[in-house]
Amino acid sequence: MSGPTTAGGTGRAGAAGPGGRAEPLLRVAGLSVGAPGGPRIVDGVSFEVPEATTVGLIGESGSGKTMTARAIIGLLPGGVEAGGTLRWRGEDLLGAGPGRRRAVRGREIAMIFQDPLAALNPTQRIGRQVGEILRRDGLPRREVRRRVVELLGLAGVPEPEERMRRYPHEFSGGLRQRAMIALALAGSPALLLADEPTTALDVTVQARILRLLRSVQRERGLAMLLVSHDLRVVAHTAHQVVVMYAGRVAERGAARQLLARPAHPYTAALVRSVPAVRTRSALATPLPGSPANPAERPAGCAFHPRCPLARERCRTRVPEVREVAPGRFSACHFAAEVFGS
């Protein structure tokens, strides 16, 4: 069975910006990911990452957030391929050869992974791993060392001269995540893809890491794609939000406005399910059912089996992504209604 055909492939959904606008740092248009002939794990995803901006990518587990990030950096698992358009500063990345992709990776686009222990080499000292890209640039040993100490310090690793000689297993979870950040910043990328950077950490460490990412982002004018299933983390960190459901974009727009006034029933349900810390007895309302698996995506609107507003049309027709307000896009047949209410 091939996936539903309506929303895929056209690659136009997000491309129709106001005429003559400058090309954003990254433009993702009609991105799809899947095994050839198989279902689309990611299906027609479009959004933009402007320079020096943090874009939050949210959705339940399995919604395709990690796959989207991996497609952007060009590190998809074996057997799955990306289609559609990825424009990096106007350059077509999916059409670029492997040499060019490798050159972009680490130096222009870098990624920090959900599980730093799996991403770091257990047999190499932290300092060596952070300095790898600098050594490849042919920097002299001394200079590499100096920069590694500086990067670890910037990432908030205390006593970097001492710590750079340690191995990943000698670091706590929070320190490992900091080492990953230092490693990602080593190539001075313009875009950082951060996949659930704080999900495994406790609140106090999480707050420190988010503060760090925010300050690095501001100081270096870095753009960031922050992948998280925690809406609170995204609300705290992102300027723009992209909400994914079953491999597709449900809604996207400016972060605060989107979370305060969703234009898609899925976003509204996610927002209602977040437990509040500072307000009394604001009971979170659970979202019924379980997330749709992109491989067995329901026909029509993939969210319809869980949607309180679902009507006949939702079961058969895939909703198009439409602009409901300037800069706000929603893939719901009744977006205007949801947004207005």
Partner 1 sequence: MTTAVREERPGGTGGALLDVRGLRVTFGGRGRRRRGGFVAVDGVDLTVGPEETLGLVGESGSGKTTVARCVAGLIRPDAGGVHFEGRPLGPAGRRGAAQRAVQMVFQDPRSSLNPRLTVASVIGEAWRTHPAAAPEGDREVALRGLLADVGLGPEVADRRAAELSGGQCQRVSIARALAVRPRLLVCDEAVSALDVSVQAQILGLLAGLRRSHRLAMLFITHDLGVVRQIADRVAVMRRGAVVEEGPTDEVLDAPRHEYTRALLDAALDLNGPGPEGEAA
Residue 307 found at the interface with ligand SF4 (CB under 6 A) = yes
At 71, which helix (H) or strand (E)? Answer: helix 65-73
Long-range contacts of 323-329 (CB under 8 A, 24+ apart): 324/263, 325/253, 325/263, 327/253, 327/254, 328/251, 328/252, 328/253, 328/254, 328/257, 328/258, 328/263, 329/13, 329/14, 329/249, 329/251, 329/252, 329/253
Nearer to ligand SF4, 304 or 328 (CB): 304
Gap between the Cα atoms of 179 and 152, Å rounded: 7
Give Cα 157 distance to the centre of its chain: 24
Gap between the Cα atoms of 248 and 251, Å rounded: 9
Closest chain position to Mg ion (CB)? 66
At 29, which helix (H) or strand (E)? Answer: strand 26-34
Stretch that binds partner 1, among 163-171, 176-184, 275-283, 329-337 (CB under 8 A): 275-283
**Do 226 and 234 form a contact (C-beta atoms < 8 A)?**
yes
Give the nearest distance from C-beta 154 to ligand ADP in angstroms.
Answer: 27
**Do 70 and 77 form a contact (C-beta atoms < 8 A)?**
yes
Residue 205 found at the interface with ligand SF4 (CB under 6 A) = no
Q: Which of residues 61-90 bind ligand ADP (CB under 6 A)?
A: 61-67, 77, 80
Give the nearest distance from C-beta 257 to ligand ADP in angstroms.
Answer: 23
Which two three-digit tokens encode residue 101? 């992709």
Per-residue interface string for the shown chain with partner 1, residues 161-190, x marking contact by CB under 8 A: ------------x-----------------
Give the nearest distance from C-beta 138 to ligand ADP in angstroms.
Answer: 35
Give the nearest distance from C-beta 41 to ligand ADP in angstroms.
Answer: 4
Nearer to ligand SF4, 240 or 267 (CB): 267
Gap between the Cα atoms of 141 and 124, Å rounded: 17
Binding site for ligand SF4 (CB under 6 A): 264-265, 301, 303-304, 307, 309-310, 314, 319, 332-334
- Judged by the rule CB under 5 A, the positions of this chain that interact with Mg ion are 66
Interface with partner 1 by CB under 8 A: which residues? 54, 60-61, 173, 201-207, 214, 229-233, 235-239, 255-256, 259-260, 269-271, 273-281, 283-288, 290-291
